[in-house]
Structure 1
């Protein structure tokens, strides 16, 4: 039964010391960077107000959006989640325990689904904790630097788009875990799988900015992480044939396709 496979994967995951380190890193990096950004933005805007720097103040509104306050989670915390998601799969191959997992499960696809569900739930919990604490701490530090604390209200949990953004972050994290699980089963090697995921997220999608607009306009709308980034920030992706909702759906579809591809590879290949 799938429930037994899920229980086995949970026991395996929690018995690994590394999971406690990576979980702590997700929260610490997410909250720490968001808190620093909130403090720095608050101080910078107050300095601009004191100096009447109209040029800086004209663009300062974007500094105090809820998504801007989640920069730590979206940039660093999510990377640690992706790395751990890859390791949950490739670690089995590296430790030669994948055969035992496959033999113990009634069907191979259950192993992949169980890994996704177990770490996916943990990743969502970590993301929720990080998002809420980042919002509270980042808003408090930003407001503390401003003579008018209400300027930073867009970063607070009471902001109009706060829980909608958190919901999109949850989708982002679940999609990332599914994608990384799929890549792990397709590649099987830790170094290769991590290189693919990290280069994809941190390098390849940004390379379109080096291309002429006449070329990049046909590529950028179909980059999954550009789409989810636009959805979380509440913007329509430039040149995309859909809006924010379409960007969210497109990201989910791409992640599911890669996850299913990993399941197919697990079923077809020898463990």
Structure 2
């Protein structure tokens, strides 16, 4: 399986972000990748809620999604869009943080809405209230691909291992974890959490990330990673935007799972005795 990752610094103009994604798709195809993974909020990243309200549209009106689908068909390239902000038709004034899996014919194979929303006050003084703007997703999603079952998740989901247990229990052998991690949390937890999820699931983890200083003033950590089922970091893109292409040995999944058969030894959550 030849995989490409796009690391980018999304801004507040969807058309400009689409151009970056499409350029990344062409570079991925030139590198003979079969699938490109993009970060969380690839199409639009802005914490100004009033400005976002004018630019976040329904899925069927999203120019980034339409542009990626059209070029995916032209190139014959699968694309895992880390996520786009799309209007929630059920909740006025709110959006969904939605991942899309696009096949090489341009069809949408899967959608996943981020389940866990990032609401936190950091020691640095940064405050984030994702739930002010977004509705949470309701369930896990696994998509069939030519390379195996792909479990979808987004950013803050990374901190909830029960989600990845559900994904691996239901056959996911590759985990997509696109993100826009802050710099402080990225420095502290990004690598160790991604390695832990790969080891626990005996699965490849593919984590395309936002990087650098964005138009809305936020700073993201970068370091898009690919981690193998043993927990080895195969790719770390550092902090520069760009595209990286890497080959993954899918036989490695069965080999690691046979060596450490933890998935076979899992038990239902035990009863608790309080003393």
> Which has the larger helix fraction?
1
TM-score scaled by structure 2? 0.31
> Which has the larger strand fraction?
2
Looking at CA atoms only, which structure, 1 or 2, has the larger radius of gyration? 1
Instruction: Specify which structure has the bigger relative contact order, considering alpha-carbon pairs within 8 angstroms and separated by 6 or more residues.
Output: 1
TM-score scaled by structure 1? 0.31
